[in-house]
Amino acid sequence: MELLAYVNGEFLPESDAKVSVFDHGLLYGDGIFEGIRAYNGRVFRLDDHLRRLFDSAKAIHMEIPHSVDEMRDLILELCRRNEIEDGYIRPVVTRGKGDLGLDPRKVKGGPTVVIIARPFEVLYGDKYEEGLELITSTYRRVPSQSVSPNIKSLNYLNQILARVEANIHDADEALLLDIQGYVSEASADNFFVVRDEILTTPPTVSILQGVTRQTVLEIAVELGYKARERFFTLYDVYGADEAFITGTAAEIAPVVRVDDRVVGDGKPGRITKQITARYRDLVRSTGTPIYEKA
């Protein structure tokens, strides 16, 4: 059975799901998106993702042509039609079909809304047991004075260039610094270090407000660990007892080497494992039901 995708009011076979070559999401990256996960017939933190989607739309002065409730219903309906139990969901909203000029006033007919929902299991395979290797990118994260990192936009070229560097160095991910030289985030994930049983992650002024990141902060407190948001440098990364990345697709992935320096003892850390275990329990037991049986 071919999977379906939602495009501007229609549920279409993926092979027929198309947008115009004049869509400003394609031409200029003028749009927003979310990455959402479903586990065991439930969509994890769906309302948090929808809130961020609508906040991003407001920030770029774009009105989504559906209410929050309508978007929730469309996502769940697509999941049902695609028989999703464990999957990845991608709602995308672009400025819409326009002209070759970048002026948003050239768009006629309103935004384009696309939703994709596909089966998905794990991103890094055995790396969750072995740990990831990161390199620090030579590219700096776009500063908040230029574009807020909390707008989850379609323009990921900054992060893609960092990921290209990781690929060149045969690393699993790239770590970006902000314009002042503080640690920001990975190319597609938030970043944590652990030292003396204290979790530290950069403040959201220079990073995306990750839904998984927020979940980890809550889990850390639940497990009795101190968690804080503050600026730190590569010096703190190299001297960390543990490190890990967080993201919707990546979930929680341990980091054991950064810039050819071993983190801790070179193995996934004890606290990272505890948080990961609690996270896996949480995502498989909570969330918005897709089906009545969930």
* Nearest Cα residue to 253 out of 170, 156, 186: 186
* 293 pLDDT tier (thresholds 50, 70, 90): low
pLDDT in tens, 129-150: 999 999 999 999 999 999 999 9
Cα(201)–Cα(191) distance, integer angstroms: 6
pLDDT in tens, 35-87: 999 999 999 999 999 999 999 999 999 999 999 999 999 999 999 999 999 99
User: Domain 4-119 belongs to what topology?
Assistant: D-amino Acid Aminotransferase; Chain A, domain 1 (3.30.470)
For residue 294, pLDDT over 80 is answered with no
For the chain, how big is the Rg over CA atoms in Å?
A: 19
Q: Homologous superfamily of 127-283 in CATH?
A: D-amino Acid Aminotransferase, subunit A, domain 2 (3.20.10.10)
Q: What residue segments make up the domains of the chain, in order of their start?
A: 4-119, 127-283
Within 10 angstroms of residue 280's Cβ, the number of other Cβ atoms is 13
- Residue of 152, 226, 267, 293 with catalytic role: 152
Residue 276 CB contacts under 8 Å (≥ 6 apart), including other chains? 128, 244, 251, 252, 254
Within 10 angstroms of residue 256's Cβ, the number of other Cβ atoms is 23
4-119 with 127-283: one CATH topology? no
Rounded mean pLDDT, 99-111: 93
* 121 pLDDT tier (thresholds 50, 70, 90): confident
Active site residue 152: yes
pLDDT score of 123:
86
Structure tokens at 70: 């309508």
